[in-house]
Structure 1
Amino acid sequence: MSVFPKISLRPEVEHYLKEGFLNKEVVSTSGKQEAERKFETLLNRLSHPPSFTTVRVNTHLASIQCVKNLLHDELQKQFNGLSVPVFQHPDLQDVLLIPVVGPRKNIKKQQCEVVVGAQCGNAVLRGAHIYVPGIVAASKFMKAGDVVSIYSDIKGKCKKGAKEFDGTKIFLGNGISELSRKEIFNGLPELKGIGIRMTEPVYLSPSFDNVLSSYLYLQNLPSAVVTHVLNPQPGEKILDLCAAPGGKTTHIAALMHDQGEVIALDKISNKVEKIKQNALLLGLNSIRAFCFDGTKALKLDMSQDTEGEPPFLPESFDRILLDAPCSGMGQRPNMACTWTLKEVTSYQPLQRKLFTVAVQLLKPGGVLVYSTCTVTLAENEEQVAWALATFPCLQLQPQEPLIGGEGMVGAGLSLEQLKQLQRFDPSVVPLQDTDIDSFKNARMEDMIWLANKDCIGFFIAKFVKCKNT
């Protein structure tokens, strides 16, 4: 049952998305009424968290069973003895699934209120505590130790430092304030720690702030699928073209048993530092991260000596992952997106620039995997159709493991081609009400099915470059 309103979008952005989901092919296949129902369901699902928290085990440092046991002990501590199960995914052996409990409906709202920004609110629904920078307003009498009710300002209308707010706000649960109102808003820039510790969230998810950080990586299920589809092998040279913050980069290195070379590029320096930190934390030595614009990663000046560093010679890599910058319209939970239509549609040209570079950097016989965390037709199936028309050397490949649904019609791809794609579509499963008792009687197959379907919106395509290029 829906407890939050559907995602708040600018009217022109909602219209643009609707046009894609109600394109002529979709309407002729399923009918206009069903297409409209599916679209409205999608908007509603996007504002709610997925049914499972997904973590990837760093198999380079520890066995899956060992980490599963450690995680089980940690959950017992966090949930005050509540017995929340941990499942190992049967098709993704290094992925563990933790059911999200909720929505919990009998939480008593407190007189003392705290308002947080929409992004902070999204993080709270996935198990995060509230850090001081995320707090927008607090009741004038709030002091450290108070039990407070947390609300998300999904329209971004609350003024920083306000003592009350009567605008649109969504209840997220209760927590205990670590600081007084005065301490939070006194302007000290060094105050960046936890301001409120969540005790009764509407959706109960584990916190992974500094929890088993060398052994676990918090990652959405489709993001873990991507690297398995890439299927990196020991000894290969692999490029992660848009790598930050490094979840997929470190997964590539782990699947290669840290044998070979993984080059990670990102054009924002502090994000590159994050990749390096993650590699160090997870004990992976095969990763080399560079602050570099992926659209310029192909070496055009052959006299330039950049041995081992970007830009690279054509046909340098065995496999390339292009997890492209995108509009992110598949992320969950997301109660509000303030982007303009110009911003949402700006990604397709950039993705094509990066794709063109990736094709040239790939060895003949090499594998290119393209992925996004968005649901738009333009950034997904349309890009596949464009790539196949633009690069005759590319062939679409079947994917293993195949966990998501097939691609969406509307971009001119054949039914056979659509079956080779993976589109993770949150609208295919009804919203779940989950309590602790529901796990006791649930069949394992049903839980895995739900985890596979009720995740973020995501897209994956796999290509191979023909050898006779």
Structure 2
Amino acid sequence: MDSSSPASASPPPATAETGRHAYRPKLRWQPDVEEYFAAAYGRDRFALISEALAHPSCYSCIRVNTLKSSTDAVMHKLMDIVSENGLSVGINGLDIGDQNSGSNTHEGNSMVHKCPYTGLENVIFVRGSGPHVLQYDSQPEQSVKEVIVSRKCAESVLRGAQVYVPGVLACSAHVERGDKVAVSVAVEQAVEDGGWAVDAHYEERKGLYIGQGITAMSRAGIFHVPHGIAVEMTERVYQLPSFNGTDILYAESFAS
């Protein structure tokens, strides 16, 4: 999570512009780097590569602490975590057991499986899903309340984390505990001196909405405590399980 001090500014109200509340990130390259790769790969192929790099993986890579447990035992525990996170439905709406002809074995199923490479027997992959299209304006007569987070916080949320207080940069006015909020990302923008800075008011948050959730504290509370969960995510663009609180495995690919 981003440990920088949050700015307690209120973001401008979200507009009803078509496509604003969506997830369409674009990767920006330095001009000379972009030209180099475009020449090396071809512009069309490089455009596809850039688009893929702007989206997170749908897999979580887990390394088992074999001093405390076995790989098979952790696979069973992961299946419980997957079920608790509502990810037990696999491809085409079929349950895990259905996709494996009713078998209860975990190895080789579509959600949790062992790494097939020799020497990596303690590595497990957990499959998520996404990107999902979310409906943010479920109450058209009311404006969408927002919580704006840092890029580092957003990277963690896209990998299954909740929104924690240190990652919050701004929040709509009159947000109380239990309110439904959209979560958007403020990314670094180029500034005149050639550097980069984060501006929570910058309008290019359009297309950078990563989900929505329920606030665990009020706006005032978020900016008066140093830690804790600010938003409990209920809908995500990318749905992956959170492994927070487990001591028998290590999440190798989580952004933090």
TM-score, with length taken from structure 1: 0.39
1:208-357 counterparts in 2 under 5 A? 208-210=243-245, 212-213=246-247, 215-220=248-253
Match in the other structure for 1:171: 209
Distance 2:227 2:34 in 1: 37
Alignment deviations for residues 243-280 of structure 1 (CA, whole Å, 9 cap, x no partner): xxxxxxxxxxxxxxxxxxxxxxxxxxxxxxxxxxxxxx
Match in the other structure for 2:221: 183
Alignment deviations for residues 306-358 of structure 1 (CA, whole Å, 9 cap, x no partner): xxxxxxxxxxxxxxxxxxxxxxxxx98xxxxxxxxxxxxxxxxxxxxxxxxxx
Match in the other structure for 1:47: 54
Contact 1:143–1:181 (CA<8 Å) still a contact in 2? yes
Distance 2:147 2:38 in 1: 40
Are 2:173 and 1:147 aligned?
Answer: no
1:73-112 counterparts in 2 under 5 A? 73-79=80-86, 82=89, 85-91=111-117, 92-109=120-137, 111-112=144-145
Deviation at 1:149, TM superposition (A): 0.5
Distance 2:166 2:52 in 1: 27
Deviation at 1:7, TM superposition (A): 1.4
Distance 2:220 2:85 in 1: 29
Alignment deviations for residues 74-98 of structure 1 (CA, whole Å, 9 cap, x no partner): 2211227645721112113222111
Alpha carbons of structure 1 residues 95 and 107: separation in structure 2 relative to 1, 3 Å: farther
Alpha carbons of structure 1 residues 3 and 66: separation in structure 2 relative to 1, 3 Å: same
Alignment deviations for residues 189-234 of structure 1 (CA, whole Å, 9 cap, x no partner): xx21111111101100111221x22x111113xxxxxxxxxxxxxx
Alpha carbons of structure 1 residues 130 and 86: separation in structure 2 relative to 1, 3 Å: same
Distance 1:152 1:98 in 2: 25
Higher Cα Rg: structure 1 or 2?
A: 1
Contact 2:87–2:128 (CA<8 Å) still a contact in 1? no
Deviation at 1:184, TM superposition (A): 1.2
Distance 1:196 1:43 in 2: 30
Task: Indicate which of 193, 196, 199 corresponds to 2:228.
Answer: 193
Task: Indicate which of 40, 43, 46 corresponds to 1:36.
Answer: 43
Deviation at 1:109, TM superposition (A): 4.0
Distance 1:8 1:145 in 2: 36
Q: Of the two structures, which has the highest relative contact order with CA contacts closer than 8 Å and spacing of 6 or more?
A: 2
Higher helix share: 1
Equivalent residue letter for 1:93: E
SS in 2 for 1:168: helix
Distance 2:71 2:237 in 1: 30
Deviation at 1:117, TM superposition (A): 1.0
Match in the other structure for 1:135: 168
Are 2:4 and 1:4 aligned?
Answer: no
Unaligned runs of 5+ in 2: 1-21, 90-94, 97-110, 139-143, 189-196
Aligned alpha-carbon RMSD (Å): 2.5
Task: Indicate which of 178, 199, 204 corresponds to 1:158.
Answer: 199
**How many positions carry a matched residue from both structures?**
198
Distance 1:109 1:93 in 2: 46
Deviation at 1:114, TM superposition (A): 0.8
Identity percentage over the alignment?
29
Are 2:69 and 1:62 aligned?
Answer: yes
Unaligned runs of 5+ in 1: 27-33, 160-164, 221-330, 333-469
